[in-house]
A and B are shown apart, each in its own frame.
Chain A
Amino acid sequence: MIFLIDFTPIKPDFGLIFWTTIIFLIFWLMIGKFAFRPIAAALKKRESDIQGSLDEAKRVRQEMANLKAENEELLVQAREERAHILKEAKEAGNRLVEEAKGKAKVEAQKIVADAKEQIEHQKMAAITDLKNQVGAFSIQIAEKVIRRELSSNKEQETFVNDLVKEIKLN
């Protein structure tokens, strides 16, 4: 129970100074070289790795967004093109139909005109034929008539031709 009243921790002991110096210096230099520096380097490397990964992810995300925007643009373009093509096709169709219609009309007109001409021809031929037949008939009639009234054939014929010429068709 009896203790010396002596506050020794405040008296720096040479031995303790000596050992502390040695132990701390070894700890500082050895652990600093073989542990603290490698750990700090590893942490730094990891930090830069993480930063790099984050940057990479950000970049990829940006790229994805760009790609998506591009796709969308492409889609819009495709849609526009489709509409354009459809419109063109429709126009072409219309035009074809119009053309066909025009052609048909022209053809029809031509056919009608041809028909008309044909009819005219036929008509003329018929008329001529009719004229001739009427002439013949007239001559026959006149012959019969003249046989009884005119003595010479010549006079008779001239007379009849004059008569025929006088007949005006239509």
Chain B
Amino acid sequence: MATFAPLFKKRVEMPIKFNQMRRYILSFIFLLSLSVFAFSQEHSEPQSGGQPTNGEVQHGDPGAIDHQDHGTEAHDAGCGPQEEHEFDPGATAFHHIADQNIYSIGPWNFPLPCFLYAPDHGWSVFSSGKFHADAHGNGHVAVDKYVLVEGMVQRIADPTFPDGEVEVAHHPYFQKVKREDGGEKEIASICYESKLYPAEDRSTADGGLFGGGITSFYDFSLTKNVTSMIFIFALLSWMFLSVAKAYKTRDGMAPKGMQGFIEPIFIFIQDEVAKPFLGHKWEQYLPFLMALFFFILALNLFGQIPFLGGSNVSGNLAVTMVLAIITFLVVNLSGNKHYWEHILWMPGVPAWVKVILTPVELLGVFIKPMTLMLRLFANITAGHMVMVIFVSLIFVFSNNGINVGAGYGTAVGSTLLTLFMMTIELLVAFIQAFVFTILTASYIGAATEEAHH
């Protein structure tokens, strides 16, 4: 007892910092495990036989009312019963990393403005709240032939489908159809008055390479990704404008607050990326490199914040494609004579080598931005998918909610795994933003390098 008392005292008087840190870590893990439960509630509802387990769902969510009808055929409008599918972690992950026309955080769906254009109908502008989406993002109202399938606007091309707002069956039907190139594709069909109408995807710019293409409509809506991007744009603008102001008002003083936070990162990009690669031209290209780095970094990090919808913005090929195209334009528009000479007719090599080199170099001009585009896209998308799949493990091991005990057991392990992945993703967020910027700087550096023979 005599020896225990001082030990105990020492234990109690442990440095506050350590205790605080432990408290933060524990509460972070606890919050993460909450996310697992929120997720599990969202996804276990079909199995709960129409009994909503979450009281809040009933109030906040416009689509919540129809939870009562899950599993019944009262609203299938005569199109036959829904097939029961096994839980598919892959499909769940695809659903969660996709861009959506609603912003769903946990059980809540926030409507977003829709700007839709169909060549045969013109513009349709309305709020996606009009679709009355349920927790899965499936709308049960069609507006001007547009329907909401898993949070994404699709269009029914069939001219017999009525315009204006019409009520449709709550769940789309998924069918596998043959594509023209021989592959299989799953499409959603909407049941309206006992008839199935296939819903068309929005037009995409992949030229059929990834199974997309031009369809009967274009979606220029402020989607979840666009909303996140606008938010990030506003946040970054506010941050940088206030920092720039601080440099003016606090001239000659040590940096403080946000200024002190931004400055080391800014100087790092300036001194480690811009100056070594661009030589004396670094000031000219600094805004572009900074914009790239901070835009990508902020989007990467924003997608990692739990409970904010996990927007997969920088993991969307459209976003990385735009960044890569702008990089391509900046690099090649600033290319000097020396650069083009080296691509088109490499000096100092025999003529027959030139014949081989020129096509290779020309291909390189396009491959460079393409690798930028794919690298960022693949890294961020993979991170998001891994996260969803770790959480999905709970449903895989709990056998779709039948074995609840196994589900809770797995939840602990999957929370820890997710936490581990999030730590790595934090690193990836920085690395990918940095890699994109430094490669861009090196391409610009190569294009603007002066001849030295």
Instruction: Name A's B-contacting residues (CB within 8 A).
Output: 1-21, 23-40, 42-43, 49
Contact = CB atoms under 8 A, between A and B. Distances in A.
Contacts of A9: 97-99, 312, 315-317, 377, 381
Q: Which of A24, A32, A33, A39 has the most CB of B within 10 A?
A: A39
Contact of A42 (B91, B188, B248, B377): B248
Interface of B: 43, 46-47, 82-83, 85, 87-88, 90-92, 94-95, 97-99, 115, 149-150, 152, 171, 174, 186, 188, 201-206, 210-212, 218-223, 225-226, 229-230, 233, 236-237, 240-241, 243-244, 247-248, 251-252, 262-263, 266-267, 270, 283, 286-288, 290-291, 295, 312, 315-319, 321-323, 326, 377, 381, 400
Nearest to B87: A1
Given A4-B91, A9-B316, A20-B229, A31 B210 contact: no
B220 A15 contact: yes
Contacts of B290: 31-32, 36
6 contacts: A3-B88, A9-B316, A12-B317, A13-B205, A15-B202, A39-B262
Contacts of B152: 8
Contacts, number: 191
Contacts of A32: 286-288, 290-291
Nearest to A1: B46
B204 A12 contact: yes
Contacts of B223: 13, 15-16
A13 B82 contact: no
Contact of A3 (B95, B201, B202, B323): B95
B322 A5 contact: no
Q: Which of A1, A30, A34, A38 has the most CB of B within 10 A?
A: A1
A9 B381 CA distance: 8
A36 B239 CA distance: 11
Given A23-B230, A31-B236, A1 B99 contact: no
Contacts of A43: 247, 263, 266-267, 270
A58 B332 CA distance: 46
B287 A31 contact: yes
A19 B206 contact: no
A14 B203 contact: yes
Given A11-B206, A35-B241, A37-B286, A23 B229 contact: yes
Contacts of B247: 38-39, 42-43
Contact of A17 (B205, B241, B243, B266): B205
Contact of A27 (B202, B225, B233, B315): B233
Contact of A1 (B85, B203, B220, B263): B85
B94 A7 contact: yes
Contact of A11 (B229, B267, B317): B317
B85 A13 contact: no
Chain A to chain B: the 8 pairs with minimum beta-carbon distance, closest first: A32-B287, A35-B240, A42-B247, A11-B212, A12-B318, A16-B318, A3-B91, A11-B204
Nearest to B330: A28
A131 B204 CA distance: 170
B80 to A, nearest CB: 15
B98 A42 contact: no
A43 B319 CA distance: 31
Given A3-B95, A23-B230, A15 B400 contact: no
Contacts of B222: 19
B318 A20 contact: yes
A27 B149 contact: no
Given A5-B88, A9-B381, A28-B287, A16 B99 contact: yes
A1 B206 contact: no
Contact of B237 (A21, A30, A38): A30
A75 B326 CA distance: 72
A2 B174 contact: yes
A40 B381 CA distance: 33
Nearest to B325: A21
B291 A24 contact: yes
Contacts of B94: 3-8
A49 B252 CA distance: 9
Contacts of B95: 3-4
Contacts of A33: 287
B82 to A, nearest CB: 7
Contacts of A42: 244, 247-248, 251
A74 to B, nearest CB: 39
A113 B345 CA distance: 126
A26 B232 CA distance: 13
B312 A11 contact: no
B226 A10 contact: no
Contacts of B237: 27, 30-31, 35
Contact of B206 (A3, A12, A28, A29): A12
Given A14-B218, A16-B226, A20-B318, A5 B186 contact: yes
A30 B321 CA distance: 21
B322 A24 contact: yes
A1 B95 CA distance: 11
Contacts of B220: 14-15, 18-19
A35 B85 CA distance: 53
Contacts of A27: 233, 236-237, 291, 295
A55 to B, nearest CB: 17
A4 B206 contact: no
Contacts of B150: 3-4
Contact of B221 (A3, A15, A23, A25): A15
Contacts of B92: 3
Q: Which of A12, A13, A35 has the most CB of B within 10 A?
A: A13
